[in-house]
């Protein structure tokens, strides 16, 4: 264990026969500015246009959030052909290919784009690299909505996806090719570092973005896990199985040598996970609301006497403006 966190062992509380449990709670955790903005966009669209408001793809990757918005009148669909001609539609925070707003405009649909501004920044970078006639190598996970959206910003064949260092070795380009790279915003900081190193070693001429594409919230949440994981016997990450940033938090904890489990709700926690455990690290992916963190703490308190300790690595003050049509 990290020297900053002395080894702890279940100790019986004097007031009860339940063993004690220290919970190291990551800060920051949970909702980021992009997720806050996306949820508010759907809520404001419902207020302005009335029920129903259609949302293309899950607005953020969290079942609790999606179900809450459904109760308010949102209808989630995968493609625009499921949206009636007279209904408003919101595009998810992950971003969409250019073909989606183009189709919405062709059909004269009223649409609101909830793409995270940090993802939109990557889209603009892709356009600039295309203007300079550079082939773009995109570091990301195949099939993720953000990857689909970013690759859809350029004509087919102008962007190549790589997921691992091993993928770099199979690329067909030469040192004579004009190349650039961009990255998915929710990846592991460590993973992208190694892949970028491999790209730069193989293609010295490759051009990268002026600032790292990994979003501030992703970096901060991973840094907090790196702080708490070495002092934990178990790390719990609240997030959806299709949430890239949540999955990366599990990987970061495991790289610190700590057992980590991804859960969506407190009800998924098994009592046997706590056998021999004196300290639990707790965090939440960027699309998990704080109430789910408190739900987990309350669940653990049913079995143990809880001692909560925040692990603060930085304070987040980022906010993003709403789209013009909803800002008034």
CA nearest neighbour of 123 among 213, 61, 34, 59: 213
Torsion sign (Cα): 265, 113, 116, 317: negative
User: Checking phi first, is residue 276 left (phi over 0); if not, alpha (psi -120 to 50) or beta?
Assistant: left
Is the distance from CB of 213 to CB of 183 less than 8 angstroms?
yes
Query: 69: buried, middle or exposed (CB in 10 Å: 19+, 13-18, 0-12)?
Result: buried
Strand (E) or helix (H) holding 75: strand 74-77
Residue with tokens 């993928």: 167
Active site includes 78? no
Bridge partner residues of 279 (DSSP)? 22
Residue with tokens 């087919």: 156
Residue 111: both structure tokens together: 């649409």
Please tell me the number of Cα atoms within 13 Å of 262 on its side-chain side. 18
Compute the distance between CA of residue 110 and CA of residue 124 in angstroms, rounded to an integer: 23
SS3 content of the chain, % helix, strand, coil (to 5): 40, 20, 40
CA nearest neighbour of 105 among 85, 122, 121, 119: 85
* DSSP conformation letters of 45-61: HHHHH-S-EEEES-SSS
Compute the distance between CA of residue 22 and CA of residue 251 in angstroms, rounded to an integer: 22
Catalytic residue chosen out of the listed positions 43, 105, 142, 146: 146
Residue 280: both structure tokens together: 């639990």
Bridge partner residues of 74 (DSSP)? 53
Just list the catalytic residues: 146
């Amino acid at each position: 264990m990290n020297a900053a966190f002395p080894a702890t062992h279940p100790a019986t509380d004097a007031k009860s026969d339940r063993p004690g449990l220290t919970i190291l709670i990551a800060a920051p955790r949970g909702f980021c500015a992009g997720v806050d903005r996306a949820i508010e966009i759907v809520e404001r669209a419902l207020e302005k246009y009335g029920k129903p408001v259609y949302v293309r793809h899950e607005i953020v990757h969290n079942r609790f959030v999606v179900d809450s918005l459904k109760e308010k009148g949102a209808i989630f669909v995968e493609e625009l052909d499921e949206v009636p001609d007279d209904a408003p539609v919101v595009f998810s925070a992950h971003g969409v290919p250019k073909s989606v707003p183009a189709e919405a405009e062709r059909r004269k649909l009223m649409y609101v784009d909830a793409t995270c501004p940090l993802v939109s920044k990557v889209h603009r970078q892709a356009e600039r690299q295309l203007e300079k006639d550079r082939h773009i190598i995109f570091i990301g996970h195949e099939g993720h909505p953000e990857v689909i959206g970013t690759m859809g910003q350029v004509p087919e064949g102008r962007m190549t996806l790589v997921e691992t260092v091993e993928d770099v070795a199979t690329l067909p380009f030469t040192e004579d090719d004009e190349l650039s790279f961009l990255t998915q915003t929710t990846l592991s900081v460590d993973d992208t570092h190694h892949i970028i190193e491999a790209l730069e070693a193989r293609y010295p001429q490759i051009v990268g973005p002026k600032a790292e594409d990994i979003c501030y919230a992703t970096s901060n949440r991973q840094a907090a896990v790196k702080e708490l994981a070495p002092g934990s016997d178990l790390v719990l990450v609240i997030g959806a199985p299709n949430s890239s940033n949540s999955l990366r938090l599990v990987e970061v904890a495991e790289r610190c040598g700590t057992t980590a489990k991804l859960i969506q709700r407190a009800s998924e926690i098994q009592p046997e996970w706590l056998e021999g455990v004196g300290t639990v690290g707790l965090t939440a992916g960027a699309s998990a609301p704080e109430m789910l963190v408190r739900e987990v703490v309350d669940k653990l308190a049913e079995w143990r006497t809880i001692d909560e300790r925040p692990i603060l690595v930085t304070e987040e003050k980022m906010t993003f403006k709403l789209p013009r049509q909803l800002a008034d």
